[in-house]
Amino acid sequence: MNKSIAFAVAALFSAAALAQSKPEAAPPPSWQGGRPAAMSESTLHPFAPHMTGRPAKDLPVNTLKAPKGFKVEVWQDGIPEARSLALGDKGTVFVSNRNAKSVYAVVSNGGKREVKEILKGLDAPNGVVYSKGTLYVAERGKISRYDNIEANLDNPQGKTVVDNLDPERQAGHFWKFLAMGPDGKLYFNIGSPGNIVIPNYLQASIMRVDPNGGPLELVANGVRNSVGMDWNPKTKELWFTNHARDWMGNDMPNDTLHRVAAKTVPNFGYPFCHQGTIQDADFGKYRSCKEFAKPAQLLGAHIAPLGMRFYNGKMFPAEYQNNIFIAMHGSWNRDTKQGYNVMRVKVDANGRASKPEPFVTGFMTDEKADPPMWGRPVDVLVMKDGSLLFSDDYNGILYRVSYGK
């Protein structure tokens, strides 16, 4: 073999070895799934919270507005990435933290509020609910119970209620909301594993399980990602918020509010149909939106409705009874942003929901800025005195809305 041939062969083997050692490109994040080629250069992106929180004194809290007679104030800051809320019998407010793997308790100590980190090292503990002395926590793959929790805040002991809820460690919407139904069962979401994909038999659903043991039961499917649910105090029907898919334009599809009115398991359309009327360009070609249950109300495009509660307190005026309050986390997949507020939806005796109207506003700074806001509501909670708390994960703050003439 002459020198030139030997050199060429060596170069070939060197190139092959280099190609093999070159790491594969990382797959795009799940939130980019379904993005059309025409939008490949889009700069739209989700907004991350301030992981350690920000003190309320550094924020323009005075810009928050509510209807006449209502007052909005900071109830507690210093709760990193404050997400879902639950209220104990002794007045303890439990707060989840999805990213920092913790659950907090806000307690009264010597007449002042104190934030205690009561659980650490959990796996995306987004969902919390309190019932009959027990705190239930929904992590990425399991739900646990902490009995007699208010007497054991310094040493809570957990027991698993249900496990193996995320065996594939799915991407996308793996965090869970948790609620206790009037039937004594725990209700929770299992989100879709991406923006627009075919889910498996567990995903894109709302499930329930008996906290004392029992099989998982399907409550609703075709639900892309619900991060808030509650029951109508009069009818005991389940209502929930839902996030529609991204990358279909600024004004479609709408995020939605749903009502589970039938005794059969409804299918709300994902991934084939969005907002009850729009067939998906890829998965909906051979399906009809007429097949699926309709939303109770359209809430706005990419507005990100999260926690919701029916108001059953006594502080607010009578016309607020049984209204739904919804925390709107706010849009990212939209050139002109919207949301970042708490909305009010009225529900009549026949279960018809009104169009949402603003209740607490003032977090928006500039609808075209990046970011366009200084705070992001996540969950709402009716307190024993009838006031309303809502959380802000962007800053790690809880706000209180009260009413007084």
pLDDT tens per residue across span 157-198: 999 999 999 998 988 999 999 999 999 999 999 999 999 999
Highest mean pLDDT among 9-13, 272-276, 346-350: 272-276
> Per the confidence metrics, is the pTM higher than 0.95?
no
Query: Which residues 6+ apart lie within 8 Å of 210 measured at CB?
Result: 184, 185, 186
Q: What is the pLDDT of residue 331?
A: 97
330 has a pLDDT exceeding 90: yes
158 neighbors 146 (Cβ within 8 angstroms): yes
pLDDT confidence bin for 8, thresholds 50/70/90:
very low
328 neighbors 359 (Cβ within 8 angstroms): no
The CB density around residue 399, as the number of other CB atoms within 10 Å, is: 24
Q: What is the pLDDT of residue 9?
A: 42
24 has a pLDDT exceeding 80: no
Q: What is the pLDDT of residue 179?
A: 98
Q: What is the pLDDT of residue 13?
A: 46
3-state helix, strand, coil split of the chain in percent (to 5) is 10, 35, 55
Q: What is the pLDDT of residue 2?
A: 52
Rounded Cα distance, 138 and 185, in Å:
14
Q: What is the pLDDT of residue 256?
A: 98
Torsional sign, CA 324, 329, 330, 331: negative
Q: What is the pLDDT of residue 241?
A: 98
Kindly list the structural domains of the chain, giving each domain's residue range(s) and its CATH number in brackets, ordered by start: 55-403 (2.120.10.30)
88 has a pLDDT exceeding 60: yes
213 has a pLDDT exceeding 90: no
**Mean per-residue pLDDT for 378-397?**
98
Q: What are phi and psi of 25, to 5 degrees?
A: -65, 140
Lookup: tokens for 64:
């928050």
Q: What is the pLDDT of residue 262?
A: 79
Rounded Cα distance, 142 and 131, in Å:
18
Which H or E run contains 16? helix 3-21
Which of 21-35, 158-172, 346-360 bottoms out in mean pLDDT, i.e. has the lowest? 21-35
Q: What is the pLDDT of residue 30?
A: 87
Which H or E run contains 75? strand 70-76
Which of 8-22, 35-49, 134-148, 215-229 bottoms out in mean pLDDT, i.e. has the lowest? 8-22
Could you please report the per-residue DSSP string of 36-51?
A: -GGGTT---------T
Rounded Cα distance, 151 and 211, in Å:
20
The CB density around residue 101, as the number of other CB atoms within 10 Å, is: 14
373 has a pLDDT exceeding 80: yes
140 has a pLDDT exceeding 90: yes
281 has a pLDDT exceeding 70: yes
| Residue bearing tokens 């923006």 | 195
pLDDT tens per residue across span 93-136: 999 999 889 999 999 988 899 999 999 999 999 999 999 999 99
Q: What is the pLDDT of residue 12?
A: 47
**Mean per-residue pLDDT for 292-318?**
98
pLDDT confidence bin for 26, thresholds 50/70/90:
confident
347 has a pLDDT exceeding 90: yes
248 has a pLDDT exceeding 90: yes
